Structure 1
Amino acid sequence: MPFMIETWDKDGNHALRLKLRDRHLDYLDQHQTLLLACGAKLSDDGAFASGGIYLVDVEDRASAEDFIQNDPFHEAGLFQRVEVIRWRKAYLAGKREL
């Protein structure tokens, strides 16, 4: 069942994000079968990330929450806020899913 996870970074933590980026990407690689899509939310000039959006296909809300809580970004305290929302996959990669 798909869930959208949206995260917001704590202000002033760009250096922490960069420090953890490789560990974060390794974590995503290890769980790539769960990922429908994933990426950072960027400033208009693309220079800074301020959080992320993950679209995951997991069994239930608890699995989505477990996924994000084990992300190195979350474990290190990068996020000020995390929302997990059940999502309907209507269109994905230009293809209608309903």
Structure 2
Amino acid sequence: MFFVILASDRPGALELRLAHRQRHIDYWNSLPGVVRIGGAMLSDDTGEATPKGSAFIIEAGSLEAARALLAADPFTTEGVFGGDARIEVLRPGIGDWKPG
């Protein structure tokens, strides 16, 4: 199953985000085949944009598994993400990438 994760940073967490960024990236990269696409949500579309959260499309066996993956993310454990992360079930239907 596929899931969309939208996780906003808590206010004032930019320095904390930068301090734990590599651990966050290493965590998701250590899970082969889980992340289909992911990255920072930005404050705007200019060259001066700052991160304000993260968005992912992941593959996991269940909603509970997706929740557990997010709970173990260093951005969650270190308090970068606020408590309002959303995880939605996704059924891919269009686009350049979709499951075969």
TM-score (norm 1): 0.89
Give the Å deviation of 1:10: 0.6
Q: Which residue of 2 aligns with 1:33?
A: 33
Tell me which protein shows more strand as a share of its residues: 1
Q: Which residue of 1 aligns with 2:92?
A: 89
Instruction: Count the aligned residue pairs.
Output: 97
The correspondence of residues 1-98 of structure 1 with structure 2, limited to 5 A, is 1-44=1-44, 45-46=46-47, 47-80=49-82, 81-92=84-95, 94-95=96-97
Q: Which runs of 5+ in 2 are unaligned?
A: none
What RMSD in Å do the two structures reach over aligned CA positions?
1.7
Q: Secondary structure at the match of 2:85?
A: strand
TM-score (norm 2): 0.88
Q: Which runs of 5+ in 1 are unaligned?
A: none
Q: Percent identity between the aligned chains?
A: 29
1:60 and 1:70 mapped to 2: Cα distance?
16
